[in-house]
Chains A and B, each alone.
Chain A
Amino acid sequence: MFKLLLDFNMKEKMFLQKSLKKKLVSVSLICLLLMGILFFNSSSLFAQTPLSVIVNSESAPADMSFAELKTILKGEQQRWKDDSKIMVALMKSSSAIGSDIVKKIYGMTADGFNKYWLSLVFQGKATAPVFFESENDLKMYVEKTKGAIGVITPTIAVNDKSILIDGKKIF
């Protein structure tokens, strides 16, 4: 009788262990899947291209937060502190650097970004950014246009025109 009970307990233990193993495997697989999704999303949302911001305005802060930069580049803040107009200069979203800027700063796809701006302009709520195919042209535009702000790669940016984003020249 005792042997039978022991046998039964052993079988129950083995069954429990097996089901625990199955559960662990399932949970691990789900975790891996979730991590994969997170990794895929984060890698697609945050491109790793180093960027710098150049400005042609005496009233622009020498250091601004990434959130402030986003507000300006999304056309939400349209004036500098001296009330002069902010002119946004960006690379075309069809270019590699433009596409990276759209992902890194706007968190959008190229189509979503273009639709966002077209919609804002159509509503009469903002002036469209000036788009460029060449970073040198963009840099020249910012240098010549009062109130302009542009995003380019650090190799093109000129140190005395670039500002800090969250305390960094390159972000």
Chain B
Amino acid sequence: MEFKKISIFHFLFFTGQLLFAQQTMIKGFADVNALYVDSNSNTSFNLGEFDLFITSEMSDKISFLGESVFKYDAVPNSKFSIGVERIIIKLNYFRNHNFLIGKHHTPVNYWNDSYHHGRVFFPTVLRPQLFNSAIIPLHTTGISFQGINLTALKFGYDLMVGNGIGATDISDNDKSKSVILAVHAKPFDGMRIGISYYYDDIASGVKKAGGSTITASNVIQSLYSGSIAYFKTNVEFLSELTYANNKVVYQNAHTTLGYYVYAGYRYKKVVLYGRFDQNNYEDGEPYFGGSDVSIITGGLRYEMNYLAVVKAEYQNVENKGITSGFINVQIAVGF
């Protein structure tokens, strides 16, 4: 009996110590939207993503980051599904150099590595077309070496090896791995310039990006990306470009070019912005299967504070010679 009491005391004491030492933070993001489509003159309200974000420090060298998103899904009875967007265990091995393992947002370009799912951070209502059209593989499960803010230029790097396209979160569908190398520098306050390279050997039988058909043969994919971002005082500028090269064995390579340019001007809490997106696909492209699209966006962002943002924007989309217009209004919050 005495032994039990002592054991319970020790258990409570040590777990208490551990819990005290561990720093855990839970944050969340959500957004609600209203969309007007001019082709059918219809307005509808819609729920965006309900994003739960957890960080925890196990020791001064090991930390955890998890991000789960709840969003509408037509398939289950509840009409909602949960997606694990990121699970990252980070081990700091020297100064600003880290080793990471888990499910990451692929560190290609700026947007995918910076904004993730928190709409409150997005400078516009919607992601750029470059990310919506599956040219960029948004997630990668694997390992990476990361360095941040090195030297006076605030140089950073990400070297990642992952399961690649076609894999699930629990297994890889083939023996080849995707490889990503990204470097960036912040030459002065507010500016970030980056370039990256993504390589993957996509196995035959994998569902094509943005379509229901599958690849008949392996596709060797190379993505060359570059980005420049400047967010300081009143001026906001962000541009990213990806040149994709998809090649089926014994066939010619097909190229795709996707880019966008965003610019905004801030007056106090209001930002007036514009964005131009364009994706150009070469005929016979074997994997993306997209068609040329260009989008002009103009909008206004009102930042009530850093946790509550209202955006209203007009989009003019030109795809396959058809032009359509949309008005999006979004309120995004963090809590």
Contact = CB atoms under 8 A, between A and B. Distances in A.
Decide whether A and B assemble into one complex.
yes
Contacts, number: 60
Contacts of A83: 94-95
B60 A121 contact: no
A112 B116 contact: no
A121 B55 contact: yes
Given A83-B94, A83-B95, A111-B306, A122 B60 contact: no
Contacts of A147: 60
Given A122-B116, A123-B113, A124-B63, 19 more contacts: A76-B148, A77-B96, A78-B95, A79-B92, A79-B95, A84-B60, A85-B92, A107-B189, A111-B303, A114-B305, A114-B307, A115-B121, A119-B114, A121-B25, A123-B116, A124-B65, A127-B23, A127-B57, A127-B63
Contacts of A111: 269, 303, 305-306
A111 B307 CA distance: 9
B194 interface: no
Contacts of B61: 85
Contact of A115 (B23, B65, B96, B306): B306
A118 interface: yes
A125 interface: yes
Interface residues of B, number: 33
Given A76-B149, A77-B96, A115-B306, A124 B90 contact: yes
Interface in A62-76: 71, 76
B127 interface: no
Interface of B: 23, 25, 27, 53, 55, 57, 60-61, 63, 65, 86, 88, 90, 92, 94-96, 100, 113-114, 116, 118, 121, 148-149, 154, 189, 269, 303, 305-307, 334
